Chain A
Amino acid sequence: MPGSPLKRPIRVLVAKPGLDGHDRGAKVVAAALRDAGMEVIYTGLHQTPEMIAQAAIQEDVDVVGLSILSGAHLTLFPRVKQLLVEAGRDDVLVTGGGIIPPEDIDALRKQGIGRLFGPGTPTAELVKYIEEWAAEHVSA
């Protein structure tokens, strides 16, 4: 993979937590990450944090990307992170995007959530972020 020291593809779980059915962004992002050479698993809609954490562990992913357009981000991001930490997987990056006000992004970063991307973000920016994060944190 160009620019990555990893010998294997980065594994990403793209997930839609909560009840919000807006999956246009999640699907576009999943396709873009796949096109960038990552291994992408998409959960489908209406997942609980427990279902997402379990899928992340079973699939042994490096990154979990949550897409939330429902306003429930302050509940759902920390819950997924917490479940991963409890399972001994605090090495997994929890990142994502959606309709998330700037002050909430700050609050979530303080709780160990990675960068969060808003509407209009070019997919190349997410790819770069994940590749750079993986280069630093993931051992081959």
Chain B
Amino acid sequence: MSGGERKPVYTPDDLAGFDARRALGKPGEYPFTRGIHPTMYRGRLWTMRQFAGFGSAEDTNQRYKFLLEHGQTGLSVAFDFPTLMGYDSDHPRAEGEVGKCGVAISSLADMEDLFRGIPLDRVSTSMTINGPAAMLFCFYVAAAEKQGVSADKLRGTVQNDILKEYMAQHAWVYPVEPALKIIVDMFEWCAEHAPLWNTISISGYHIREAGATAAQELAFTLANGFTYVERGLARGLDVDAFAPRLSFFWDIHNDFFEEIAKLRAARRIWARHMKERYHAKQARSCMMRFHSQTAGVTLTAQQPMNNVVRVAYQALAAVLGGTQSLHTNSLDETLALPTEEAVRLALRTQQIIAHETGVAEVIDPLGGSYYVESLTDQLEREAEALFAEIQSVGGVVRGIESGWFQRQIARSAEAFQREVEAGRRVLVGVNDFLSEDDHPVEILKVSGDAEDSQRRRLARLRAERDGAPVAERLEALRRAAQADRNVLGPMLDCARAYCTLFEIRHALESVYGAYREPVFF
């Protein structure tokens, strides 16, 4: 919600000079404003992909089977905080947090349990992991090998977007430069060994959730994307060898038309920059493929049933904006992790949009609307202005290290809060339309058992695995990092030898050091 001024009505005058062929193209053609596929949902619906994970790998494996049985078409792994930060479940810093907000994965053994009975050559899996993304990806590749599936058959995505971690989500491990180096290692390794795998999901979601406006989400995320491209080019990679596997992830907020315009503008800006600035030759390099998630931050603890309605409108915006996959939030997520019933309702919301509303039958149905095209153009202009501002503060990396992005986002969050508290912005059930009888909904309790069982499992793993290759392979990984070689191969060898997450993190930390955030409010 940029809160930008809107006119009461848009007319042909607002599109003076608008060249539909140049601004839009056909669906599936440059600059992809209308969508990346010529047939869009006529050919294939979006992937309904609910993000899930809690407790132990076995608990989450059950939830995945439940979701697949109910018609979900892709998996999405939520890891717990220790895993997101590269700590094993038995590390002192993990205490109290194991399995709480996601699943605990400390080694290949846990990854094997997570996907037991789920053939990895037949599902696509998205993993929300960033600081230690390469490590969890190696566990996944090694788990697939155990199932007899080679890396070149794997389909899915690892989020792996460290720049937005520094800006907004804050699950980092290493300083900016070595973290970027590992990401480029992923681009390089996957181009050769796992060509169907999306090496990164460049994410606006967390930037928006942390408080950014739609224009800031759009611009900061794309600027991050350009940074990754530039780092790949600096390594000497051919842009068309890695750019087709870059994917994106957007937050779908409440301002319905602005969100649709944001998605359309995002595709167009990416295509133009990829072609004109980075000289991509393949259409796939210019094509922005993305996942969307309805905005968690818009859910309210007050009158939680209202969240069902918010999610449905946001999901509809994502579909009208041409998303490739979608997660719909559950109504109870401001209170706890969602119950099965709430998750099913969120999935049903997507199925109703897909099969009952008819919106999937026509491609980019709002294309040509005076309003939506004006808004798309306006967001593109705002993004270009922000790119110039980012340049003026020294670029993305400098802007992170100086806290510029973090301050911009925090200021937008404060401005939003002030508008709500002054009553200039209505939140139904929160600052207006309050109910006396606000019925509590039933919430999921995650048992504390995961922490104890994970500790026992890790103790057993450490006792039973062969210690010699563990030490050898960790040392080989450390040496690769020190010599500035690609660390992916040695890291995969560590995963195969059942080295734990923290052991791998630690081996690299001895070379790379740790990130320190600029603290302010």
Cβ distance B451 to chain A, nearest Cβ, rounded Å: 9
Q: Are A99 and B334 in contact (CB under 8 A)?
A: yes
Out of A14, A18, A27, name the residue touching B96 (CB < 8 Å).
A18
Q: Does B82 contact A (CB under 8 A)?
A: yes
Binds A, one of B134-142, B254-262, B413-421: B413-421
Interface residues of chain A: helix, strand, loop or mixed (majority): loop
Q: CB within 8 A of A19: which of B81, B210, B302?
A: B81
- 0/1 string, A81-111, CB within 8 A of B gives 1: 0000000000000000001011000000000
Are B336 and A72 in contact, CB atoms less than 8 angstroms apart?
no
Q: Nearest chain B CB to A139's CB is how many angstroms away?
A: 28
Residue contact A44 to B517, C-beta cutoff 8 Å: yes
Interface residues of B in 379-418 (CB under 8 A from A): 410, 413-414, 417
Which residue of the partner chain B has the closest CB to A23?
A: B170
Interface size on A, residues (CB 8 A): 37
Instruction: Enumerate chain B residues within 8 angstroms of A44, measured Cβ to Cβ.
Output: 517, 519
Query: Are B82 and A26 within 8 A (Cβ)?
Result: no
B402-442 vs A, Cβ < 8 Å mask (1 yes, 0 no): 00000000100110010011000001001100000000100
Q: Are A42 and B84 in contact (CB under 8 A)?
A: no
Residues in B140-170 with C-beta less than 8 Å from chain A: 165, 169-170
Number of interface residues of B (CB under 8 A): 44
Residue of chain B at shortest CB distance from A43: B519
Q: Which residues of B contact A102 (CB under 8 A)?
A: 440
A27 and B413 contact, Cβ closer than 8 Å, known pairs A21-B171, A72-B96: yes
Q: Which of A26, A118, A120 contacts B521 (CB 8 A)?
A: A26
Q: Which of B165, B417, B445 has the most CB of A within 10 A?
A: B417
Contact across chains for B414 and A119 when beta carbons are under 8 A apart: no
A72 & B170 in contact (Cβ 8 Å cutoff): no
Q: B335 is contacted by which of A72, A99, A122 (Cβ under 8 Å)?
A: A99
CB–CB A19/B82 < 8 A: yes
Q: Is B377's CB within 8 Å of the partner chain A?
A: no
B443:A101 contact, CB within 8 angstroms = yes
How long is the Cα–Cα vector from A74 to B297 in the complex, in angstroms? 23
Within 8 A of A (CB), among B38-97: 81-82, 84-85, 87, 93-97
Contact B417 A28, beta carbon cutoff 8 Å? yes
Whole-angstrom CA separation of A48 from B171 in the bound complex: 15
* CB pair A20 B101 closer than 8 Å: yes
A18 to chain B, nearest CB (A): 6
Determine if A123 and B519 form an interchain contact, defined as CB atoms under 8 angstroms apart.
Answer: no
Contact A19–B427 (Cβ < 8 Å): no
**Does B251 interact with chain A (Cβ within 8 Å)?**
no
CB-CB contacts of A37-48 with B at 8 A, as 1s and 0s?
Answer: 000101111101
- Report if A27-B170 is in contact (Cβ < 8 Å); known contacts: A19-B85, A120-B430, A123-B417: no
Contact with B along A110-140 (1 / 0, CB 8 A): 0000000011101110000000000000000
Smallest CB gap from A17: residue in B = B96
In the complex, are the beta carbons of B520 and A70 less than 8 A apart?
no
Asked if B330 CB lies within 8 Å of chain A CBs, one says no
From B81, B297, B335, B410, contact of A20 by CB (8 A)? B81
B328, chain A: closest CB distance, angstroms: 19
Contact of B517 among A31, A45, A120 (CB under 8 A): A45
For B85, give the chain A residue with the smallest CB separation: A19
A19-B84, A45-B170 are known; give 8 further A-B pairs, CB within 8 A: A19-B81, A24-B410, A40-B521, A71-B336, A71-B446, A99-B334, A118-B334, A119-B300
Q: Which residues of B are interface residues toward A (Cβ below 8 A)? A: 81-82, 84-85, 87, 93-97, 100-101, 165, 169-171, 209-211, 297, 300-302, 334-337, 410, 413-414, 417, 420-421, 427, 430-431, 440, 443, 445-446, 517, 519-521
